[in-house]
Structure 1
Amino acid sequence: MKKLINDPQKVVDESVEGFGLAHSDLVTVHTDPIFIGRVGGAVPGKVGLVSGGGSGHEPLHGGYVGKGMLDAAVPGPVFTSPTPDQIVPATQAADGGAGVVHIVKNYTGDVLNFETAGELCAAEGIEVRTVLVNDDVAVEDSLYTAGRRGVAGTVLVEKIAGAAAERGDTLDAVEAVGHKVVANVRSMGLALTPCTVPHAGKPSFDLAEDEIEIGIGIHGEPGRHRVGLEPADALTEHLLTPVVEDLGIGSGEKALLFVNGMGGTPLSELYIVYRKAAQLLADRGVAVERSLVGNYITSLEMQGCSVTVLRLDDELTELWDAPVHTPALRWGA
């Protein structure tokens, strides 16, 4: 194992400290317990947005704290949920008096800990709503979930719900927009290689040189099946077809196409995947009106990618286009 780390047990603390120093104009890092807040604190009268989860998926979630997205993010240990005693102060810091929405990926630890934190915050008078993201079509259940996993669609939920909150929508309305995105987004990923959790010191799963895991989870959970080496176009079709069929999107509809890297895949290869995915959607009569390509929710140094399709209407398109200014995503601001 070769990694640019010091102590495997201090990876998250040191990484978050460096993140805060690099982006001090946008975020404030709180310690003991650790969470990342929007610089300047909660915006009075605005619905707060909080998300979080295990580290190792950067820039998710801390990279999306800022104007037009999250008000706070809570990093747990690598691939491990943050605890309620982190989530509660993050929620308090994000509360501007209009309530807070928790955006939670559908992993058992995340769900339970955010639920507990929400109950504790409610006891203190903070109204908390939850939007559960479960966009992965690869499997219904895994070692980490009951139901579908929350993966790359989380980025789109945070951006669009964040825009709704930023424009002054009510708590009910922001929650509804979040649920609307969840209902209209699907994802599926693949892995060319495993990744290595720093404190484990060995790959999280075994994958032969000539094997590719189709339907991988962002923690290295198993997918639908393994295939031999195939060209990128064939692999892209393995991902896009079940996404489109599950979403039920068809001719005459509009979409956002998101090709995400798992951390170790060159951008040039992601554009090859995007090229084929866009062609396949066009063949089905789906108009790709918005796009996102890059490493936005990763799995440490895993080589691989995921394909996400979001069905668009005028409201979702407007919210996607709204200004955003965070360390990892910014336009129009």
Structure 2
Amino acid sequence: MKKIINQPSDVVNEMLQGMATAHPELLERFSDSQVIHRKADTPDVVGIVSGGGSGHEPSHAGFVGEGMLSAAVCGEVFTSPTPDQILTAIKASDNGKGVFLVIKNYTGDVMNFEMAQELAEAEGIETSSIVVNDDIAIEDSTFTAGKRGVAGTVLMHKIIGYYAKEGKNLDELTEIANKVNDNLNTIGLALTAATVPEVGKPGFDIEDDAFEYGIGIHGEPGYKREKIKPAKEMAKELVSQLKATYNWEAGDSFVVLVNSMGGTPLMELYIFWNDVQQLLADEGIDVKWVKVGELMTSIEMQGLSLTLLKVEDNEWVDALKAPVDVLAW
């Protein structure tokens, strides 16, 4: 294992400290916690909290700030944060209007966030939540009951953050989040595995000339392994899976996210998007907005994911385009 770290057990602590000290005007780290909070006062609106295991940077702390998250809870690498850490983030984000939680569908995350909600409610803080389950590759994989929550979670952060800033209440945010979740789907692929620092070796074995469709962000298995092939063939497979899920028609409107899993450079992401956009054009799909970049990673995994959000409300596009003050959008 070759990584630029000190002790593997100190990775998350030192990362969070470095993030906070590099951006003191924007972020603060609560002492003795793994919570990153927006430095500015929480406005008189619903607070938005998300989080999960570390190793997916810039998710989730990179999206803390005006217009997106009030706070992010950062568990150990690929490990859910604890209920007390989540409660710390909830209490810090409440300004009397309650707190909305964006949770990825992993068993540990769901359990611990729900426990934190119960603790918050006992202290008089109103909460609501959405469990994002956008990964269409497989169901009931390692870590998960049902579909996994992956890169589409970032689009949820952005849209819900926009509506919270606009003054929507908890009930309204819950309704919007459910509609977004129903129209949000992702599928990915991996060329290499990630190495968790405290494990010291890749999470799975994959041949040098192979890649796997449908891999999860913690290295969970996908649904098919093949020999390496041109980007346009990979794009065709992922688009065909999304087409089958949506059963779309010509003229349907979507937004698109092409996301790096951590080790895939922008050069390759843009090549992949170039192939995807041609496939979508051939289908008569109206692409309203596109984002290409590194938003929900799996440490240094080489690979990518393709997220589509069917636009049921044009204001969702406005929400995605709205300016924010965060590190990573």
Q: Give the structure-1-normalised TM-score.
A: 0.97
CA distance in structure 2 between the partners assigned to 1:76 and 1:83 by the alignment: 7
Q: How much has 1:279 moved relative to structure 2?
A: 1.0
| Structure 2 residue 241 is matched with structure 1 residue 227 | no
Alignment of 1:122-161 (within 5 A): 122-161=121-160
Q: Which structure 1 residue ranges, 5 or more long, are not aligned?
A: none
- CA RMSD of the aligned region, Å? 0.9
Q: Deviations over 1:74-96 (max 9, x none)?
A: 00000000000100010000111
How far apart are 1:69 and its partner, in Å? 0.4
Cα displacement string for residues 143-200 of structure 1 (whole angstroms, at most 9, x for unaligned residues): 1100000001000000000000011111111122211211111000100011100000
Match of 1:88 in 2: 87
SS of the equivalent of 2:180 reads helix
Q: Would you say the 8 A contact 1:244–1:309 is kept in 2?
A: no
The aligned length equals: 328
Per the alignment, residue 115 of structure 1 pairs with 114
Residue type of the alignment partner of 1:18: G
TM-aligned CA deviation for residue 258 of structure 1: 0.7
Report the equivalent of 1:8: 8
Deviations 1:219-258 (A, max 9, x none): 0000111011111100111112112221233211111111
Of 6-15 and 242-251, deviating more is 242-251
Aligned equivalent of 1:241? 240
Alpha carbons 1:211, 1:229 under 8 Å: kept = yes
d(CA) in 2 for partners of 1:235 and 1:9? 37
Aligned to 1:73: 72
Partner Cα distance (2:273, 2:233) in 1: 12
AA in 2 matched with 1:201: G
Q: Normalized against structure 2, the TM-score is what?
A: 0.98
Matches of 2:59 and 2:101, distance apart in 1: 15
Partner AA of 2:163 in structure 1: A
SS at match of 1:324: coil
Q: How does 1:43-82 map to 2 (within 5 A)?
A: 43-44=43-44, 46-82=45-81
Residue in 1 aligned with 2:32?
32
Q: Which runs of 4+ in 1 moved over 2 A?
A: 247-250
Segments of 5+ residues of structure 2 without an aligned counterpart are none
1:318 match = 318
Question: Deviation of residue 274 (structure 1)?
Answer: 0.5
Q: Are 1:177 and 2:185 an aligned pair?
A: no
Asked if structure 2 preserves the Cα contact closer than 8 Å seen for 1:156 and 1:181, the reply is no
- Residue 177 of structure 2: SS of its match in structure 1? helix
Percent identical residues: 51
| TM-aligned CA deviation for residue 40 of structure 1 | 2.5
Amino acid at match of 1:158: H
Match of 1:20 in 2: 20
Which residue is equivalent to 1:218?
Answer: 217
Q: Aligned letter for 1:274? A: W
